[in-house]
């Protein structure tokens, strides 16, 4: 069986990394998987990207043109928006290929238009990495229009000008007459799909993102700290969202408020901020801060996960964040709010702690509970690693996708 994955990039961004891992998990299981991207960075022969200078230039121009068009939307929603209006020949090429299944991932930044996707005539699997597929132009809508249908009457007062979200949603409803098989990495996103007007009755399967648990494994904590020049005798709490300090959805402000409750209770605590440069005017958190800057290699990420006693993922809204799965694989307990896709990662008081949603005092208590008892922390660490291997390893995830592909091909 031949499968072609489509994603805007191969390794740049969370969705890209998730898609790339699924692709290689399948290859390890003997499936003829390949990946088609608009921005190839990995130097991987199994990934097909633009070849000519013209096609490379066009791939860089398309997201700029899309962003220019989307400026017609004036909205209080600060999250990313995609119109998916620029035509391409991708559907024509894919239909003419020998692929038995087309597997869509994050195909935004004008990689494919809404009508391009509709023209695909092969079995389609679409793994959702956010809410865009069943919303308007928004990737994380701040309203319920995706559940009600986008009408003139339910447009948020904060939006002005052309109702681009309604226009994009109507185009999806018009063109996507044939249901695709939707995959969500988390049960939360699956519930969202079921509640949506656009895809509520489409076939749906929950399959988690994959991680290579042989490559992502614990490094001795003392050695990791020594290599990273981090203090060896203090509890280190990791905050692991790329650019998370400035992203409202990632909840850094909730973590900041939670840390106030720990002052005096964990006086030797230090915070490690992964994927963020030190700001020009650092805010006071009451604890020493270590900023890693932007990291792009898995070896460094693995070392930082292993160096920490725990990672906190204080997101208000997240699907199945890579940082949480990577942490489990490295044996690092995860502390998070009991919301969205985070319960799909953390087993409460087994591999970490799930605080009541957005309760900063309970989050503070969870940090204490996970980190202050060394024996408990060691047990949580062992459980985290065991969970990662049992639930997210390449063979486990690839087997689920393989069975899904077989069912789709056999039904054609």
Name 394's Cβ contacts closer than 8 Å, sequence gap at least 6: 21, 24, 25, 28, 29, 210, 211, 212, 213
Residue keyed to tokens 């290859």: 27
**Which is more confident, 63 or 389?**
389
pLDDT given at position 286: 84
pLDDT in tens, 72-122: 655 555 567 899 999 999 999 999 999 999 999 999 999 999 999 999 999
Q: pTM for this one? A: 0.94
pLDDT at 160 over 90: no
Share of the chain above pLDDT 90, in %: 78
pLDDT given at position 65: 86
315 in Cβ contact with 251 (< 8 Å): yes
Share of the chain above pLDDT 70, in %: 96
pLDDT given at position 101: 98
The CATH T-level fold of domain 2-210+394-410 is: Rossmann fold (3.40.50)
pLDDT given at position 76: 52
254 in Cβ contact with 358 (< 8 Å): yes
The CATH T-level fold of domain 221-391 is: Rossmann fold (3.40.50)
pLDDT given at position 243: 52
**Which is more confident, 209 or 59?**
209
Q: Where in the chain is the domain with CATH 3.40.50.2000?
A: 2-210+394-410, 221-391
pLDDT band of residue 161 (cuts 50, 70, 90) is: confident
Q: DSSP state, 68?
A: H
Instruction: Average the pLDDT over 184-205 and give the result.
Output: 98
pLDDT given at position 213: 98
pLDDT in tens, 349-404: 999 999 999 999 999 999 999 999 999 999 999 999 999 999 999 999 999 999 99
pLDDT given at position 284: 65
Instruction: Average the pLDDT over 23-40 and give the result.
Output: 97
pLDDT given at position 68: 80
Instruction: Average the pLDDT over 260-284 and give the result.
Output: 85
Instruction: Average the pLDDT over 319-337 and give the result.
Output: 97
What average pLDDT is seen over the chain?
93
pLDDT given at position 245: 60
pLDDT given at position 186: 98
Instruction: Average the pLDDT over 230-255 and give the result.
Output: 82
Instruction: Average the pLDDT over 52-81 and give the result.
Output: 76
pLDDT at 244 over 70: no
Residue keyed to tokens 């069986």: 1
pLDDT given at position 58: 84
**Which is more confident, 147 or 53?**
147
């Amino acid at each position: 069986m031949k499968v072609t994955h489509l994603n805007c990039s191969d390794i740049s961004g969370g969705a890209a990394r998730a898609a790339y891992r699924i692709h290689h998990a399948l290859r390890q299981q003997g499936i003829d998987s390949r990946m088609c991207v608009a921005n190839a960075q990995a130097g991987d022969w199994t990934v097909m990207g633009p070849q000519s200078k013209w096609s490379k230039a066009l791939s860089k121009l398309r997201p700029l043109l899309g962003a220019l068009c989307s400026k017609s939307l004036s909205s209080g929603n600060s999250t990313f928006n995609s119109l998916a209006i620029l035509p391409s020949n991708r559907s024509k090429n894919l239909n003419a290929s020998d692929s038995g299944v087309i597997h869509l991932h994050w195909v935004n930044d004008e990689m494919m238009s809404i009508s391009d996707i509709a023209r695909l005539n092969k079995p389609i699997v679409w793994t959702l990495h956010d809410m865009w597929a069943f919303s308007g132009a928004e990737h994380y809508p701040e309203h319920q229009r995706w559940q009600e249908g986008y009408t003139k009457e339910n447009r948020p007062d904060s939006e002005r000008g052309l109702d681009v979200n309604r226009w994009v949603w109507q185009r999806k409803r018009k063109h996507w007459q044939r249901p695709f098989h939707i995959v969500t990495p988390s049960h939360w996103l699956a519930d969202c799909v079921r509640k949506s007007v656009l895809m509520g009755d489409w076939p749906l399967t929950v399959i988690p993102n994959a991680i290579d648990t042989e490559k992502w494994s614990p490094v001795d904590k003392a050695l990791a700290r020594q290599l990273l020049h981090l203090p060896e005798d203090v509890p280190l709490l990791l905050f692991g969202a790329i650019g998370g300090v400035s992203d409202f959805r990632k909840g850094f402000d909730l973590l900041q408020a939670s840390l106030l409750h720990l002052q005096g209770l964990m006086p030797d605590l230090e915070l490690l901020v992964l994927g963020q440069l030190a700001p020009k005017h650092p805010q006071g958190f009451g604890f020493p801060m270590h900023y890693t800057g932007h990291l792009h290699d898995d070896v460094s990420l693995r070392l930082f996960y292993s160096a920490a006693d725990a990672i906190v993922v204080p997101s208000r809204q997240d699907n199945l964040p890579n940082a949480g799965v990577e942490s489990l694989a490295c044996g690092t307990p995860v502390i998070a709010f009991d919301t969205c896709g985070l319960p799909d990662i953390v087993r409460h008081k087994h591999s970490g702690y799930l605080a009541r949603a957005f309760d900063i005092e309970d989050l503070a208590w969870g940090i204490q509970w996970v980190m202050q008892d060394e024996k408990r922390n060691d047990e949580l660490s062992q459980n985290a690693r065991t969970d990662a291997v049992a639930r997210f390893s390449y063979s486990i995830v690839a087997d689920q996708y393989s069975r899904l592909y077989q069912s789709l091909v056999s039904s054609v």
